[in-house]
Amino acid sequence: MHERTLALAIDLGGTKVDAALVDDDGAVVTGTVHRAPTGRDAARDDVARAIVRVAADALAGLGDDRLAGIGIGSAGPVDLGQGAIAPLNLPALAGLPIVSLVQKLRPDVPVRLALDGACIALAEHWRGAAAGARNLLAMVVSTGVGGGLIIDGSPVTGISGNAGHIGQLRLRKRAPGAPVTDGTLEALASGPSAVAWARAEGWAGSSGEQLAQGYAAADPIAVAAVSRSAGAVGEAIANVATLLDLEIVVIAGGFAKVADDYLDLVRASVQEAAVFDYARRVRVAASGLDGHGPLIGAAALVLR
């Protein structure tokens, strides 16, 4: 068997950190995916150790293949200049020097860091539903809401590396004294936000899975919560499509599967919210990748 060129890909999110080896065709190498939990209440040192552990476990599958480098996709904000991160949903990690942390595993290869949304966009453009598209937005609707942009065929990262933070677009006026995130897309549309809103309305459930069951059973509060989330996502897409004349928006993430017609609700919201016909023409599609999209995008930082 000939030597392959591989990348070590790491994806750090609000509930877990994944690592795997990915080949130069964008395929995750079987048996190399490793995962550890994170979470808002996780201690900084525990998460740092988990990142190193899953990365080392994935590297153990390298064998005789060549490692081209290490790609890291992280919830943001990120600081590319410092190689550090400060994830909104992982406050204990503020300022974590993740690049130097991971570099110690393989000092001989480059380490590249990007916003997780940018990695999703790279993956969908390379191997997913947006392959060949010129202007696209890729989104994740899950524990949080993230995004990444490719414009004129090239990724847009911005000066600090944080372009694409669609989850922190403000769609509603912030209430006096409320947290700074009040009224943002993430606060309206993420899974935990939808569950919290439903509970405040008197719904008895406590999880996204139960919300999905309630929606399927036509529970009026569950239906309202899911519709509220999808409506906000569609409104944000209409805004970005108006600004950037997008061809396609790809939506991934667990909460985007809370209802079979979630994307249809998003599409209807885009049509209602957009002012111009060109913005209404944007296609809204489900991810063309399995759950490995974030890892494939992180690998693309090295392989593409």
Q: Write the pLDDT tens digit of every residue in 143-183.
A: 899 999 999 999 999 999 999 999 999 999 999 999 999 99
User: Hey, which residues does 138 pair with through a beta bridge?
Assistant: 148, 250
| Encoded tokens for 183 | 């009224």
49 token code pair:
């150790």
Q: What is the DSSP letter of 184?
A: B
pLDDT bin (cut points 50, 70, 90) of residue 33 is very high
In the chain, pLDDT over 70 holds for what percent of residues?
99
- What local confidence, expressed as pLDDT, does residue 3 receive? 80
User: Which are the contacts of 180, defined by CB distance < 8 A and separation ≥ 6?
Assistant: 174
Asked if 139 contacts 251 with a C-beta cutoff of 8 angstroms, the reply is: yes
- Looking at the predicted structure, is the pLDDT value of residue 303 above 90? yes
Mean pLDDT of the chain: 96
Whether the CB-CB separation of 148 and 164 falls below 8 Å is answered with yes
Per-residue confidence (pLDDT) for residue 230, from 0 to 100: 98
36-40, 202-206, 262-266: which range is least confident on average?
36-40
Residue 56 in this model has a pLDDT that exceeds 90: yes
> What is residue 291's predicted lDDT score, i.e. its pLDDT?
83
Query: Which regions of the chain does DSSP assign to beta strands (E)?
Result: 5-12, 16-23, 34-37, 66-74, 78-79, 84-85, 111-115, 136-141, 145-151, 154-156, 248-252, 283-286
DSSP conformation letters of 47-105: HHHHHHHHHHHHHTT-TTSEEEEEEEEESS-EETTTTEE--TT-GGGTTB-HHHHHHTT
Diameter of the chain by CA atoms? 64
pLDDT class for 290, splitting at 50, 70, 90?
confident
Number of alpha carbons in the 13 Å side-chain half-sphere of residue 159: 0
* 11 φ, ψ (degrees, to nearest 5): -125, 115
Report which residue type is found at 138.
A
What integer pLDDT is reported at residue 145 of this predicted model?
94
On whether the CB atoms of residues 68 and 294 are closer than 8 A, the answer is no
pLDDT at 102: 98
Residue range 196-210, pLDDT digits in tens: 999 999 999 999 999
The pLDDT of residue 196: 98
CA dihedral 149, 151, 23, 13 (to 10 degrees): -10
Give pLDDT, residue 18. Answer: 97
Instruction: Give the pLDDT of residue 1.
Output: 54
Q: How far is CA 39 from CA 49, 85, 86, in A?
A: 14, 15, 14
Residue 14 above 90 pLDDT?
no
Residue-wise pLDDT for 230-251, tens only, equals: 999 999 999 999 999 999 999 9
Rounded distance, CA 299 to CA 22, Å? Answer: 6
Kindly state the average pLDDT of the residues 280-289: 96
66-121 confidence digits (pLDDT tens): 999 999 999 999 999 999 999 988 999 999 999 999 999 999 999 999 999 999 99
**Interacting residues of 115 by C-beta distance below 8 A, sequence separation 6+:** 73, 74, 75, 76, 77, 78, 146, 148, 157, 161, 162, 163, 164, 165
What are the chain's domains?
5-119+292-303 (3.30.420.40), 131-286 (3.30.420.40)
Angle at 41 between CA 94 and CA 32, to 5 degrees: 80
Sequence-ordered list of residues with C-beta below 8 angstroms from that of 27, at least 6 positions apart, any chain: none
